[in-house]
Amino acid sequence: MDTEQTPPTIAAALAHAAARLPLGAAANSEAQLLLGHVLACTRSALLVREDERLTSASLAAFTDAVGRRARGEPLAYITGHKEFWSLELKVTPDVLVPRPETELVVERALALLGAGRAAIADLGTGSGAIALALARERPGWQVTATDLSGAALAVAQANAAAIGVANVRLRRGDWFSALAGECFDLLASNPPYIASGEAALADPALRHEPMGALASGPTGLEALATLVEGAPAHLRARGWLVLEHGAGQAGAVAELLVARGYRHVRCHADLAGLARVTEAQRPAH
C-alpha cells in the first residue's frame, strides 16, 4: 500500500492486507483484527464503515502492523492484548502469549478443589493468565503468582489491576524460592518444556517470545523435573500439582511423578486431543 497516494477504503485496505498475510483462511480475520486495533473499533464496525477511506496516518499504522504480522510477529504483541479464559490480558514481548491449551490447567485446578477457602500458587506466571483466571473464578482462594522476571511480573500486576481481582499476590523468584516456608492446596504451572535444540524454536512466531519461558534445557524436561521434585515441600497433605507439558512428554512426566511418590497421576488431553496437562496428588503422609 502506497501511503503517498490517496488512502484506500477500509474494504480495499483489508483485501490488500489479507493478500500479504501468509495465513491461509485466517488472513481475512487477522487483517480485520489489525485494522480494528489501529482504528480502535470492532470488526463489525469495520464492515459498516467499509466504504470509508483511511487517513494517511491510519494507513501508515496499518501497513506497519501488517508488515510485522507478515514477518511472523504474534498478533498479540502487535495489538498488545490476548483473550484467555474470557479475560482480556495485556501482553508484551516480556511474556508468553497465553494459549488456549493452557486453559486446561485452569479447568483442572477448578475441578480438583472446591469453591471454599484454599491457597494456590501459579509458578512462572508470565502475564498472570492462570493465576488471574483462578482468582476471578474462586474469590475465596488466595492465589500467589511467582515469576523470575520482574518485567513479566509488571505485566501480571497491570493485568491484575485491570481485572480488579483482590485475591492475588505477586512474588518474584525462581520457582520455589519465592515460596519459602509456605504450603498450598494446589500448585499449577505452565513451565518451559521445549528442548533447547528442538526445531520448533525456529518458528517465526516463537522467535519473538521470551526464550526462557519456552526452552528449559537439552531434554525439555528440566523445569518440569524441578517442579516435580520441589513441590512436595510446598504442598499440604493431599495437595495437588498441575503441570502443562509438551504433547509427547506425558509418559516422562508421569514417570517423574511416580518416582517421587505422588499418587493419582492422571493426564488430560486438550481440545486438539493432545496429552497436555498432568495432575498428581501428594500423599497424605
Task: State the DSSP code for 24.
Answer: G
More confident residue, 35 or 204: 35
Say if residues 280 and 188 touch (Cβ distance below 8 Å): no
Residue closest to 123 by CA, chosen among 53, 60, 180, 175: 175
More confident residue, 12 or 22: 12
In angstroms, how far is CA 60 from the centroid of its own chain?
30
Q: What is the rounded distance in angstroms from the CA atom of residue 87 to the CA atom of residue 85?
A: 5
Q: Which three cell numbers stand for residue 252?
A: 516422562
As a whole number, the mean pLDDT across the chain is 92
Least reliable range by pLDDT among 38-42, 68-72, 89-93, 209-213 = 209-213
pLDDT of residue 285: 63
Q: What is the rounded distance in angstroms from the CA atom of residue 37 to the CA atom of residue 61?
A: 10
- Reduced to 3 states (helix: H, G, I; strand: E, B; else coil), residue 36 is helix
Enter the CATH code of domain 95-281.
3.40.50.150
Phi, psi of 251 (to 5 degrees): -65, -45
Q: Mean pLDDT over residues 247-257, rounded? A: 95
Q: What is the rounded distance in angstroms from the CA atom of residue 198 to the CA atom of residue 219?
A: 9
Task: State the DSSP code for 225.
Answer: H
The 3 state secondary structure assigned to 134-157 is HHHHCCCEEEEEEECCHHHHHHHH
Cα angle: 99, vertex 102, 106; to 5 degrees = 135
State percent of the chain over pLDDT 90: 80
- Reduced to 3 states (helix: H, G, I; strand: E, B; else coil), residue 30 is helix
Q: Mean pLDDT over residues 101-126, rounded? A: 95
Give the helix/strand (H/E) hosting 159: helix 150-163
Q: Is the pLDDT of residue 1 over 60?
A: no
Q: Which three cell numbers stand for residue 82?
A: 490476548
Q: Mean pLDDT over residues 40-59, rounded? A: 91
Structure confidence by residue, pLDDT tens digits, 237-249:
999 999 999 999 9
Q: Is the pLDDT of residue 36 over 60?
A: yes
Q: How confident is the model at residue 24 (pLDDT cuts 50, 70, 90)?
A: confident
Q: Which three cell numbers stand for residue 175?
A: 520457582
Say what the pTM is. 0.90
